[in-house]
Every structure is written in structure tokens, then in C-alpha cells.
Amino acid sequence: MADFTALKPGATIGILGGGQLARMIALAAARIGLKCHVFAPEPDSCAFGVVRRATLAEYDDEAALARFAEEVDVITYEFENVPADTAAFLSSRKPVLPDPSVLATTQDRLTEKDFVTSLGIATAPYAGIASAAEILPAIRKIGLPAVLKTRRFGYDGKGQIKIGPKDDAARAWRSLGEAPCILEGFVQFTREVSIVAARSADGEVVSFDITENEHSDHILKVSRVPARVSASVGKEGRLIAQKIAEALNYVGTLAVELFVVGDGKDETLLVNEIAPRVHNSGHWTIDGATVSQFEQHVRAVAGWPLGKPLRRGRIEMINLIGTEIDDYSKWLGVPKAYLHNYGKPAARPGRKMGHVTKVLAEEPAAKDAKVAPKAKIKATPKTKAKPKGRGK
Ligand code: AMP
């Protein structure tokens, strides 16, 4: 990585990707005196409208990438599928944070699961499938029902199929284009939660409260904080995020999506996936906490100290999907409801167009945003996940 020193106010952060995450990073940066330059290939990128400089070019356009690198002080990204060549090209010119090695771990579900289990953190049981001959052995190992997922490029439920005992697994694999896959045991979770945390350049980790997430058609619909989990599960979530961030030598904001399994004293967590970026389940922090996930990310990549987020109460974040954005005006009169419209031109079905954060009840917030001591995690023994060797 190119040499890096803390940015001064007025410096420029380059962001790869021009969607709502880049837009909200740029808005947070502007508030604390930093500029942003967004690089994205889509002409209607909604982040273009809020930044000082924008580059509209493909990720393999080396001339455009070189100019972009020349004009910024540090580079970050809003999505995990940044092509490896793009990240390598840029990191030879300017610091790229989080380090591109993080992308190599998190772009591939099998490599990511191997990494998580190598830390002694539980996941659903899983097996890789690289050819038709590996389907039956994987099913024998994992059992059914299971979820077949492509190793790369899956999101919002795309690139995955649930397989039950009566289903034709080979056909399911063919329907995913015979791509390299991972078969995961189907988890009977009680709820889905996530932890959003940030790690600074000097290694401090600060996490937000564990957040409960409700999906509709595989797309996040509502996040609620606090999540309905025990205090010990909340603490376990923070430690999992901290351990992952430290093992990746991560700089910036990341999210860990988790399943809650069991109940009462047996309640525990399984990691579903890591998002090496700011995350939809952390949008509530803009209006619901004293420092947001976006500002934490900006502070981290700028080499600045992180903030200590205090939650403003019981919070609900509702995604406005597709034409739901057309009803924006109904939110304008709701007390303690904060409307965010990403300014996207076309409200296609399933497209995240905006969100609303509601502060439902003010609470004493003192418990929030603990800075955890050095991560110390015991492997959770109640899962069937078998630790495997490190990935490919
Ligand atoms: P993913 O793309 O891996 O985040 O999966 C999208 C959604 O599918 C998750 O939020 C879960 O609701 C569901 N899902 C994914 N993997 C599993 C699993 N192994 N068991 C049960 N549900 C799953």
C-alpha cells in the first residue's frame, strides 16, 4: 500500500461506487470538512449529485483510474465486488482502505466462511461444490434442507436456492449456471441481526448496538434497535465483529450479518456473512446515534479517531423500496421521523430509493457504544459448523 498519513481538513477521499452508500459517506465527509470524489460507471449514480468531483468511467479504464488516483488523497469503496485488478492498480498509487486483501476474503463465500471458522466463530455448516460430482457428498455432509449459494456475486437473495429433501439438487445447481457454489445447512433462526463496527487506523474498534433486521423478498425492510436478544448475545456480537475486524487488519466500517439461534440460556449467534463496507442495517445511526456509521468510516479512512456513538433511544429504520418513495410526503409531518431520499431517477421494483428513521422513544443511552477490550471469543460449541482449513 502507498504511504499513508492522517488527512487534513479539505483533503479528498476517493470513493469507488456511486450508489446511496457512497452518497451518505460523502454527506458525512462534507460535514466534517473533507471532500469526496466518486468514481462509478453508471451515469445515473445518485452519489454524483452531492460531491465536488465525479468520474464516470468503467472500473477497467486505467487512464481514468490513474487520473482519479492523482486527484484524491485516499481511496475507499462502497461495495465489495470491486474488481481485484482495479483495487491493485489503485493501491500502487494511493492508499486503498480497507486494504484490498479484505476484498479477496469477502468476495467469495467459501473463503469467507473458512476465514470466519478459522477464528473459532460459528457459522452454519457448509461445503464447497465445484462440480456435479461434489453435490451428493456435500448433501451427505450438510443434510437437507440446505441453501445452495454461488460463491461469488450474490446479494439480496440473488444467486441462491433452498433445497429440500424432495428437490433435484443437480437441477438447482444447473439453474445457478453450474457456478462454483457453497451448500449451507438451512438455519432455523429465531431472528436475524447485524453488528456494524468501525476500526480506526490505529486499531481501536467501536461497535454500534446489535440491530435486528426484518427482510421482505430477501431485501432488508426494517431494522430495529435494540434487538430482542440477551445482553450476553449482544456482547458476543460485538466481540465477533471486533475479532473479525482485527484479524482482517481492517480500517473503516464493516458489518457482520448474524443468525440468532436457540433461546433462553441457549441463545447464540452464527455468522451469515461479512460486508466490508457501510451497511443498510446501520442507516439508523445517522439520526439515531451521536455519530453515524458513515462518519466512523470517513474518520477511519482519514486516519482520524473514531467517535463514541450514543443511541438516541429506541430506533426503527424503514427502507423505502420502489414506488414507496412516492409517498415521501407522508413522512414529512411525522414527529421524530427522518426522511432520506437518495435521489435515484427511476423507482424500479426492489430498488432501494430511500429510508426513514424513526426515534420511537428516548432512552438513557449510556449503555451504548462500548469500546470493547481486546477480543476474546470462545467458539460456540452448540453448532454443527466444523472448523475448516483456510480457504483456497
Ligand atoms: P445472504 O445473501 O447470504 O445474506 O442471504 C439472504 C437471506 O437468505 C438471509 O438474510 C436469510 O434470510 C436467508 N438465508 C441465507 N442463508 C441462510 C441459511 N443458511 N439458512 C437459513 N436462511 C438463510
Reduce the secondary structure of the chain to three states and give it as a string: CCCCCCCCCCCEEEEECCCHHHHHHHHHHHHCCCEEEEEECCCCCCCHHHCCEEEECCCCCHHHHHHHHHHCCEEEECCCCCCHHHHHHHHCCCCECCCHHHHHHHCCHHHHHHHHHHCCCCECCEEEECCHHHHHHHHHHHCCCEEEEECCCCCCCCCEEEECCCCCHHHHHHHCCCCCEEEEECCCCCEEEEEEEEECCCCCEEECCCEEEEEECCEEEEEEECCCCCHHHHHHHHHHHHHHHHHCCCCEEEEEEEEEECCHHHCEEEEEEEECCCCHHHCCHHHHECCCHHHHHHHHHCCCCCCCCCECCEEEEEEEEHHHHHHHHHHHCCCCEEEEECCCCCCCCCCEEEEEEEEEECCCCCCCCCCCCCCCCCCCCCCCCCCCCCCC
Report the chain's terminal Cα–Cα distance, integer Å. Answer: 23
- Lookup result for grid cell 425492510: 221
272: Cβ below 6 Å to ligand 1?
yes
Q: What is the pLDDT of residue 348?
A: 94
Determine whether domain 12-96 maps to CATH 2.40.50.140. no
Q: What is the dihedral of CA 239, 260, 281, 297, to 10 degrees?
A: 10
- Output the residue whose Cα is nearest ligand 1's atom 18: 186
Alpha carbon distances (Å) from 157 to 14, 218, 258, 279: 29, 5, 15, 16
80: Cβ below 6 Å to ligand 1?
no
Q: What is the pLDDT of residue 390?
A: 29
184, pLDDT greater than 80: yes
Work out which ligand 1 atom sits closest to the CA atom of 158. Answer: 2
Ligand 1 center–CA 272 separation, angstroms: 7
379, pLDDT greater than 50: no
383, pLDDT greater than 70: no
Ligand 1 center–CA 162 separation, angstroms: 9
User: What mean pLDDT comes out for the span 231-258?
Assistant: 98
Confidence of residue 154 (pLDDT cuts 50, 70, 90): confident
CATH of domain 188-386: 3.30.470.20
| Percent of the chain topping pLDDT 90 | 88
Residues of the chain with CATH 3.30.1490.20: 125-185
- C-alpha grid cell for residue 339? 426522511
User: What mean pLDDT comes out for the span 240-260?
Assistant: 98
Work out which ligand 1 atom sits closest to the CA atom of 186. Answer: 20
183, pLDDT greater than 70: yes
Residues 270-329 pLDDT 10s: 999 999 999 999 999 999 999 999 999 999 999 999 999 999 999 999 999 999 999 999
106: Cβ below 6 Å to ligand 1?
no
**Is-cis flag, bond preceding 381, omega within 30?**
no
Residues of the chain with CATH 3.40.50.20: 12-96
Residues 21-77 pLDDT 10s: 999 999 999 999 999 999 999 999 999 999 989 999 999 999 999 999 999 999 999
User: What mean pLDDT comes out for the span 215-227?
Assistant: 96
366, pLDDT greater than 60: no
Ligand 1 center–CA 312 separation, angstroms: 30
CATH of domain 125-185: 3.30.1490.20
Q: What is the pLDDT of residue 49?
A: 96
- Mean pLDDT rounded to a whole number for the chain: 92
